[in-house]
């Protein structure tokens, strides 16, 4: 099978969130099953070093300027880099300008990505035509719309929703500028409450739809989580599949991780204590017997960090400590910096993102807090399991699917791997933190949970097989 991935980011080339980790890992898992996967992403400035590869496709005018597709093999992946300097050669965030707002031409920037993906689907690459295209999130959402305008046979498209909150909504006057025919602006096409939505177009026009966990797939069918698209998804429920994310077991391995001051494994946990000491030093945390909690997150309302602020006094009183790494809403950043000053030695905050530091946090912490109000899948709890850092999670989306709550029955039967709480509010989050502190004071139980968590399957093997089933089904249209 020949498979084209179309996405806006891919680790290790460019990353703003979990989408990049998935795009960087799934093709490797599929390749192990004999699938020929190529990944199309924009050639942002961070990819300049790879632009000396083979030019396999050119565009005289791609939404305002010339462009080309460069094929390279790098980091174990077959990459197709869309080199369009007029759209992507910009410093800073790949989605946002220096003012923190979306780039004003984001519609053209990601329409270009979708158009290039569609052209590859139509056979513009010599000697390689994909059997299936897997488009990811709204930035690739117009792939099926452009294919629908073609007069020749087109490959099926599978659309993967990583987060339905981001929908790519633009003014309807942009229809012609985006190269879309007027007959596409209907409820069965790109129209969405009088505007153009890239994501809605994909959900309406793709052959199959996947999302990143079974529970999130069910949640999307409800008004509370579907964010205006639940009706469409209910109509397409037979084509919607929830496939749990995994992680790259080579990148996230406490036995070999070069970002750690000491390695460890389920058979020998000694190195984890050394990682904790290094973590405490990095965050200015005092040494002590209580558990070290960590947060590695975008700082937004979705992530529930406002609830965590309410719980900090009780966490500290119980002997707990917190190390937080993240950035986002200015008021949350200020609040956690103030908390670090107020609870000096017990709370440490670093604003920003540091990939190597995130590895140390997973290795050196005792528990990771993920109080998200909604979470399609989440990857940080999977990293936590892998590193014996027990997740404390809201019972939603993929968090509910990946962590086994340490309730009394689960402890007695020896299957608990973390802590879930619901409903998702500060009171129940505080209760989960108290339960974690209580079990941390029982080393025998805690150590057993750590080892069980580290053995929990978090790779891509089962999920890659499920994706293959969807791709095969899509070809039977």
**pLDDT confidence band for 459 (50 / 70 / 90):** very high
**pLDDT confidence band for 477 (50 / 70 / 90):** confident
Tokens of 315: 């966490």
Tokens of 473: 């089904």
**pLDDT confidence band for 99 (50 / 70 / 90):** confident
What distance in Å separates the CA atoms of residue 51 and residue 291, rounded to the nearest whole number? 47
C-alpha separations of 350 from 16, 29, 174, 357 in Å: 17, 34, 40, 10
**pLDDT confidence band for 27 (50 / 70 / 90):** very high
Q: Is the pLDDT of residue 92 over 90?
A: no
146-173 pLDDT per residue, tens? 999 998 999 999 999 999 999 999 999 9
230-282 pLDDT per residue, tens? 999 999 999 999 999 999 999 999 999 999 999 999 999 999 999 999 999 99
| pLDDT reported for residue 392 | 98
∠ at Cα 273 (269, 275), nearest 5°?
A: 105
Cis peptide before 12 (omega within 30 of 0): yes
Question: Please, is 221 exposed, middle or buried when counting C-beta atoms within 10 Å of its C-beta (0-12, 13-18, 19+)?
Answer: middle
User: What angle do the packed helices 330-342 and 305-317 form, to 10 degrees?
Assistant: 10
Please compute the mean of the pLDDT values over residues 112-136 and round it to a whole number.
97
∠ at Cα 252 (249, 296), nearest 5°?
A: 135
| pLDDT reported for residue 100 | 82
How many beta carbons lie within 10 A of that of residue 384, not counting itself? 33
Helices (H) and strands (E) in the chain, counts: 18, 18
Whole-structure pTM value = 0.93
Query: Using an 8 Å Cβ cutoff, are 145 and 133 in contact?
Result: no
Q: Is the pLDDT of residue 8 over 90?
A: yes
351-390 pLDDT per residue, tens? 998 999 999 999 999 999 999 999 999 999 999 999 999 9
| pLDDT reported for residue 59 | 97
Same fold? 2-246+461-474, 270-455: yes
| pLDDT reported for residue 417 | 98
Please compute the mean of the pLDDT values over residues 195-222 and round it to a whole number.
98
Q: Is the torsion defined by CA of 246, 249, 255, 257 positive or negative?
A: negative
User: What angle do the packed helices 106-121 and 198-205 form, to 10 degrees?
Assistant: 30
How many beta carbons lie within 10 A of that of residue 95, not counting itself? 16
Nearest to 205 by CA among 187, 181, 227: 187
User: In 22-153, at which residue ranges do the beta strands (DSSP E only) sit?
Assistant: 36-42, 54-59, 67-74, 77-83, 132-136
| pLDDT reported for residue 174 | 97
Q: The domain 2-246+461-474 belongs to what CATH superfamily?
A: Glycogen Phosphorylase B; (3.40.50.2000)
Query: Using an 8 Å Cβ cutoff, are 190 and 201 in contact?
Result: yes
DSSP state of 195: E
286-300 pLDDT per residue, tens? 998 999 999 999 999
pLDDT averaged over every residue in the chain: 96
| pLDDT reported for residue 91 | 86
DSSP state of 418: B
Tokens of 58: 């050119």
**Beta strand pairing status for 367-370 and 67-74?**
unpaired
| pLDDT reported for residue 288 | 86
Query: Using an 8 Å Cβ cutoff, are 43 and 84 in contact?
Result: yes
**Beta strand pairing status for 54-59 and 36-42?**
unpaired
What distance in Å separates the CA atoms of residue 438 and residue 418, rounded to the nearest whole number? 13
Is 3.40.50.2000 the CATH classification of the domain at 270-455?
yes
**pLDDT confidence band for 98 (50 / 70 / 90):** confident
Please compute the mean of the pLDDT values over residues 333-347 and round it to a whole number.
98
| pLDDT reported for residue 151 | 84
What distance in Å separates the CA atoms of residue 402 and residue 406, rounded to the nearest whole number? 13
Tokens of 344: 């000096």
Domain ranges of the chain: 2-246+461-474, 270-455
Tokens of 185: 């602006």
What distance in Å separates the CA atoms of residue 133 and residue 143, rounded to the nearest whole number? 9
What distance in Å separates the CA atoms of residue 189 and residue 192, rounded to the nearest whole number? 9
What distance in Å separates the CA atoms of residue 237 and residue 308, rounded to the nearest whole number? 35
Name the CA dihedral angle for 45, 170, 237, 212, rounded to a multiple of 10 degrees.
30
Please compute the mean of the pLDDT values over residues 449-457 and round it to a whole number.
97
DSSP state of 303: G
37-84 pLDDT per residue, tens? 999 999 999 999 999 999 999 999 999 999 999 999 999 999 999 999
Helix residue spans in 302-378 (DSSP H): 305-317, 330-342, 355-364
Please compute the mean of the pLDDT values over residues 446-470 and round it to a whole number.
96
Q: Is the pLDDT of residue 1 over 80?
A: yes
């Amino acid at each position: 099978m020949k498979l084209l991935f179309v996405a806006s980011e891919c680790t290790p080339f460019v990353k703003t969130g979990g989408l990049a980790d998935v795009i960087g890992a799934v093709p490797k898992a599929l390749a192990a099953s004999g699938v020929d996967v190529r990944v199309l992403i924009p050639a942002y400035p961070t990819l300049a070093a790879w632009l000396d590869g083979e030019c396999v496709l050119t565009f005289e005018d791609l939404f305002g300027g010339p462009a080309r597709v460069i094929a390279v093999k790098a980091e174990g992946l077959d990459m197709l880099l869309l080199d369009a300097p007029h759209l992507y050669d910009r410093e800073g965030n790949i989605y946002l300008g220096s003012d923190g707002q979306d780039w004003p031409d984001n519609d053209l920037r990601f329409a270009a990505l979708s158009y290039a993906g569609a052209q590859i689907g139509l056979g513009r690459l010599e000697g390689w035509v994909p059997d299936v295209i897997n488009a990811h999130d709204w930035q690739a959402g117009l792939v099926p719309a452009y294919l629908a305008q073609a007069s020749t046979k087109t490959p099926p498209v599978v659309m993967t929703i990583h987060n339905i909150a981001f929908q790519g909504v633009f003014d309807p006057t942009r229809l012609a500028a985006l190269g879309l025919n007027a007959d596409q602006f209907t409820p069965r096409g790109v129209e969405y409450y009088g505007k153009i939505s890239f994501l809605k177009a994909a959900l309406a026009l793709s052959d199959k739809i996947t999302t990143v966990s079974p529970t999130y797939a069910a949640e999307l069918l409800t008004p509370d989580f579907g964010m205006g698209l639940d009706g469409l998804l209910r109509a397409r429920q037979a084509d919607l599949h929830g496939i749990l994310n995994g992680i790259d077991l080579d990148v996230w391995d406490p036995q070999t991780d070069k970002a750690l001051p000491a390695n460890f494994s389920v058979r020998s946990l000694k190195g984890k204590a050394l990682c904790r000491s290094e973590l405490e030093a990095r965050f200015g945390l005092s040494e002590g017997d209580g558990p070290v909690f960590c947060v590695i997150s975008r700082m937004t309302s979705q992530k529930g960090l406002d609830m965590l602020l309410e719980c900090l006094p009780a966490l500290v009183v119980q002997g707990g400590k917190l190390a937080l790494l993240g950035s986002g809403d200015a008021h949350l950043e200020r609040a956690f910096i103030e908390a670090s000053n107020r609870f000096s030695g017990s709370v440490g905050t670093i604003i920003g993102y540091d990939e190597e530091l995130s590895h140390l946090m997973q290795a050196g912490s005792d528990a990771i807090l993920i109080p998200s109000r909604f979470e399609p899948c989440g990857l940080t709890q999977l990293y936590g399991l892998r590193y014996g850092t027990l997740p404390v999670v809201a019972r939603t989306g993929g968090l509910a699917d990946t962590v086994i709550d340490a309730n009394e029955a689960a402890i007695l039967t020896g299957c608990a791997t973390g802590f879930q709480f619901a409903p998702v509010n500060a009171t129940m989050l505080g209760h989960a933190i108290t339960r974690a502190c209580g079990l941390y004071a029982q080393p025998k139980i805690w150590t057993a949970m750590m080892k069980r968590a580290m053995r929990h399957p978090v790779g891509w093997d089962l999920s890659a097989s499920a994706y293959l089933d969807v791709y095969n089904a899509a070809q039977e249209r």
